[in-house]
Amino acid sequence: MAVTLHDVARVAGVSIKTVSNVINAYPHIRPATRERVEAAIAELGYVPNLTARSLKSGRTGAIALAVPELGLSYFAELAAAVIEAAEAAGLVVLVEQTGGDRDRELELLRSPRLKMTDGLIFSALGMSEADVASLDVDFPVVLLGERIFGGPTDHVTMRNVEAARAATEYLIASGRRRIAVVGAHEGEVVGSAALRMQGYLEALEAHGIDYDESLIGYTTLWHRSNGARSITELLDRGAEFDAVFGLNDTLALGAMRVLQASGRRVPEDVAVMGFDDLDEAGYSIPSLTTVDPGQRWIAQTAVATLMERIATGAELGPPRLLLADFRIAERESAGAVRAQRVS
C-alpha cells in the first residue's frame, strides 16, 4: 500500500539515503540524479511517513491544545486563533476537551497521548494552585487562563484586574452607580471570576461607591443560560441596578436577554458590559460593549512561546508571564455618555 523510500530508491536506481537527501534538499546531488529521483517520487506518488520521521527526529510537528469546551464561543475562537497561528508556523494542532474538570485536566497532563505532540497549550479551568506540581512535566507547556500563577511553565494571559477595573470605570463614567455583576464565583480567590471581581471592587473603591453584596450574581459555569438565570435571581429578589457587568460576554448576553424580556431597555434603563469581545458581541441587540482582552495576541504568543521552548528547552531561562493589552470595545449596550433620559 504505502510507498516508501525503498520503493522510490529502487525505481530511481539509487540508495534510499540519496532519496532522503533529495527530499531534504541536501545540496550536493548531481542534477541528473535529482531528476531521476524526483521522477520516481512523482511516478509512485511517494509521501513521506511522518510517523517514522518523528520517531527518528524526536519531533512530531504537532502541538496539543487543551480547552474546557469548544461549544463555549470564547474557546472556539481561541482554538481558531491558535490553529491559525500554528499553521502559519507549520504545526498541526490536536485539540482536547477537558470539560473544565480538574480530574480530567490532571489526567490529560499525565496522558501518553501527549507523546504524539511536541508541547501543550493548556487552558486550565478546574485545576487550582494546589495542583501546580502537576504542571511540572517533561514536555513544554504554555499555560493559559488564570487558575494558577507562578507555576513552572510559561504563562500567557490577560490583564484581568486592570481590564475589569477599566470596564467598571467605563460604566461609572457614564453615570452608573449601582452596577450588578453576573458570573461571580463564591469564595474563590483565583481564577478569572475572582480577578475580574477584584478589578470591579477596585473601581468602586476608587470612585467612592460602596460595595453592595446584593448586586452580585453567583454562578459556576459561564454558560449562556447561567447569565440568564443569575440575573433573574437578582430581579426576583428585588435588586435595583442601573448597569450589569457580565464577567464574560456569554453571561452578559444571557443577562441582557432577560433584562429586555422583563421590559427594561438597554442601555437606557440598564447598561450592559461584557468581557471577551466575541464575534457575537457585535451582532446582539443592542450590540455589546465589552472588553477586548487581546485574545488573538494571546494565541499567537502562546504558539510562539511554545515553539521557543520546544526549540531551546530549559535553556530559555525561567518561566515567563506574558500579558496581553486590552481595550474597551465600545458598542451600543453601554455608552460613554448616558444615552437618553437621565432618570
Residues that bind DNA (CB under 7 A): 2, 4-6, 13-18, 20-21, 23-24, 27-30, 32-34, 46, 48-49, 52-53, 55-58
Work out how close the CB of 104 gets to its own copies at its nearest, in angstroms, rounded to a whole number: 10
Our finding on whether 315 is near its own copies (CB under 8 A) is no
**HEC secondary structure over the chain:** CCCCHHHHHHHHCCCHHHHHHHHCCCCCCCHHHHHHHHHHHHHHCCCCCHHHHHHHHCCCCEEEEEECCCCCHHHHHHHHHHHHHHHHCCCEEEEEECCCCHHHHHHHHHCHHHHHCCCEEEECCCCCHHHHHHHCCCCCEEEECCCCCCCCCEEEEECHHHHHHHHHHHHHHCCCCCEEEEEECCCCCCHHHHHHHHHHHHHHHHCCCCCCHHHEEECCCCCHHHHHHHHHHHHHCCCCCCEEEECCHHHHHHHHHHHHHCCCCCCCCCEEECCCCCHHHHCCCCCCEEEECCHHHHHHHHHHHHHHHHHHHHHHCCCCEEEECCEEECCCCCCCCCCCCCC
Residue 158 beta carbon to DNA: minimum distance, rounded to whole angstroms: 38
- Residue 79 contact partner, candidates DNA, its own copies, none, CB within 5 to 8 A by sort of partner: its own copies
Q: Pick from its own copies, DNA, none: which does 113 bind, CB < 5 to 8 A by kind?
A: its own copies
Q: Which is nearer to DNA, 30 or 237 (by Cβ)? A: 30
Tell whether residue 29 is a contact of its own copies (CB under 8 A). Answer: no
**Range in contact with its own copies (rule: CB under 8 A) among 86-94, 161-169, 211-219, 297-305:** 86-94
Contacting range for its own copies; rule: CB under 8 A; set: 53-61, 122-130, 183-191, 197-205 = 53-61
279 is a contact residue toward its own copies (CB under 8 A): yes
Among the residue ranges 69-77, 125-133, 144-152, 229-237, the one whose residues contact its own copies (CB under 8 A) = 69-77
Binding segment for its own copies (CB under 8 A), chosen from 89-97, 212-220, 299-307, 318-326, is 89-97
